[in-house]
Structure 1
Amino acid sequence: MQQTTFWKNYMTNAQLDLSIARYTKVPATWAEDSYVPEFNKLYFIMEGEGFVKVNGETYYPKPGELYLLPAGSTQAYGTLNDHNTFGKYWCHFSSKVNDAHLFQIIQAPVFITPCDPELLIHKFKQLILHSEKGDLSSGFRVHSTLFGIMADFIEQSSEVHFDSRTVPSFEKMDKILQYIESHLHDSLSVEDLARIASFHPNYFISVFKKYTGLSPIQFINRQRMERAKHLLLFTEQSVTGIADSLGMEVSYFSRMFREQIGFSPKNYREMISRTGVTKN
Structure 2
Amino acid sequence: MNPSQRTFWKKYMARARIDVDLAAYTKVSRSWNDEIPSCPVNRLYFITEGEGYVKIGDHTYYPRPGDLYLLPAGSDQAYGTISENTFGKYWCHFTAKIGDLDLFQILHTSPSIVVKDVLALGQTFENLIAHRRSDALSAEFRVTGILHELIADFIDANAAVKLNLATTPTHEKMNVVLRYMEQHIADQVSIETLAQLAHYHPNYFINAFKQFTGYSPIQYMNHLRSEKAKDLLLTTELNVSQIADSFGMELSYFSRMFKEQTGFKPTAFRDLRPR
TM-score, normalised to structure 1, is 0.69
C-alpha distance in structure 1 between counterparts of 2:110 and 2:91, whole Å? 17
C-alpha distance in structure 1 between counterparts of 2:9 and 2:232, whole Å? 19
CA gap of 1:21–1:214, structure 2 versus 1, over 3 A, is closer
Tell me, yes or no, if structure 1 residue 124 matches structure 2 residue 129: yes
8 Å CA contact 2:33, 2:78 repeated in 1:
no
Structure 1 partner of 2:168: 167
Shift of 1:47: 2.4
Decide which of 18, 21, 26 is 1:24's aligned counterpart: 26
Describe the superposition over 1:71-90 as per-residue Cα deviations: whole angstroms up to 9, x where unpaired.
Answer: 415766654x75x5421123
CA RMSD of aligned residues (A): 4.0
Decide which of 148, 152, 156 is 1:151's aligned counterpart: 148
C-alpha distance in structure 1 between counterparts of 2:77 and 2:253, whole Å? 55
Structure 2 partner of 1:44: 46
Identify the range of structure 1 (218-227 vs 70-79) with the bigger mean alpha-carbon deviation: 70-79
C-alpha distance in structure 2 between counterparts of 1:267 and 1:125, whole Å? 34
- After TM superposition, list the pairs within 5 Å mapping 1:174-185 onto structure 2: 174-185=175-186
Shift of 1:15: 6.6
Q: Partner of 1:175: helix, strand, or coil?
A: helix
Unaligned runs of 5+ in 1: 131-136, 275-280
C-alpha distance in structure 2 between counterparts of 1:261 and 1:60, whole Å? 44
TM-score, normalised to structure 2, is 0.70
Structure 2 partner of 1:8: 12
Shift of 1:45: 1.8
C-alpha distance in structure 1 between counterparts of 2:228 and 2:166, whole Å? 31
Describe the superposition over 1:232-278 as per-residue Cα deviations: whole angstroms up to 9, x where unpaired.
Answer: 22x2241355344434455643453345434443332122335xxxx
Identify the range of structure 1 (53-62 vs 194-203) with the bigger mean alpha-carbon deviation: 53-62
Tell me, yes or no, if structure 1 residue 187 matches structure 2 residue 188: yes
C-alpha distance in structure 2 between counterparts of 1:184 and 1:167, whole Å? 25
Describe the superposition over 1:110-157 as per-residue Cα deviations: whole angstroms up to 9, x where unpaired.
Answer: 234375431312323555x58xxxxxx79x97x767644542222213
Shift of 1:185: 3.0
C-alpha distance in structure 1 between counterparts of 2:203 and 2:89, whole Å? 50
Q: Partner of 2:189: helix, strand, or coil?
A: coil
Unaligned runs of 5+ in 2: none
Structure 2 partner of 1:277: none
8 Å CA contact 2:54, 2:80 repeated in 1:
yes
* Counterpart residue type for residue 47 of structure 1: E
C-alpha distance in structure 2 between counterparts of 1:251 and 1:125, whole Å? 43
Percent pairwise identity: 40
C-alpha distance in structure 1 between counterparts of 2:266 and 2:24, whole Å? 47
